[in-house]
């Protein structure tokens, strides 16, 4: 069974940093495309970043240069290092295992999310 469990969120001051983790089970993170998606309180969904199985990474313009996606194969865990945080980064951060089947793409499996609050 595919499971994704996020952790690492919390309250941080503007300009601060956090490392979000997404522990996976039931599949191998390094063999899959993995994404982070966030949702500000009461708002819609915003894609943040993706890491492909080959290691290529992409970011939303709003986080480029401040956030870094990575993975630890030995721990089967996905990470999102979030630096230079701004109040507008406050959101629930979801990790997702993506599917790319017969040329079709989607975020197939989702974790329950971890809340990041940026406030002084």
Partner 1 sequence: EIVLTQSPGTLSLSPGERATLSCRASQSVSSNYLAWYQQKPGQAPRLLIYGTSSRATGIPDRFSGSGSGTDFTLTFSRLEPEDFAVYYCQQFGSSPWTFGQGTRVEIK
Which two structure tokens, joined as six digits, stand for 17? 């940093």
From 31, 56, 102, 120, residue interacting with partner 1 (rule: CB under 8 A): 102
25 binds partner 1 (CB under 8 A): no
Cβ atoms < 10 Å from Cβ of 83: 14
Single out the residue of 94, 114, 116, 118 in contact with partner 1 (rule: CB under 8 A). Answer: 94
The encoded tokens of residue 90 equal 């406050």
The pair of three-digit structure tokens given for residue 73, joined into one six-digit string: 């194969």
Q: Is 52 in the site for partner 1 (CB under 8 A)?
A: no
Q: φ and ψ at 71, to 5 degrees?
A: -145, 155
Binding site for partner 1 (CB under 8 A): 37, 44-47, 50, 58, 60-61, 94, 99, 101-113
């Amino acid at each position: 069974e595919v499971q994704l469990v996020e952790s690492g969120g919390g309250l941080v001051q503007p300009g601060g940093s956090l490392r979000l983790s997404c522990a996976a089970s039931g599949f191998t993170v390094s063999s899959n495309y993995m994404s982070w998606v966030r949702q500000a309180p009461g708002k819609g969904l915003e894609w943040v970043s993706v890491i492909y199985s080959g290691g290529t990474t992409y970011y939303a313009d709003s986080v480029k240069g401040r956030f870094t996606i990575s993975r630890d194969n030995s721990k089967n865990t996905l990470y999102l290092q979030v630096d230079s945080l701004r109040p507008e980064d406050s959101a629930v951060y979801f990790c997702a295992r993506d599917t790319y089947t017969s040329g079709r793409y989607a975020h197939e499996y989702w974790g329950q999310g971890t809340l990041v609050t940026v406030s002084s």
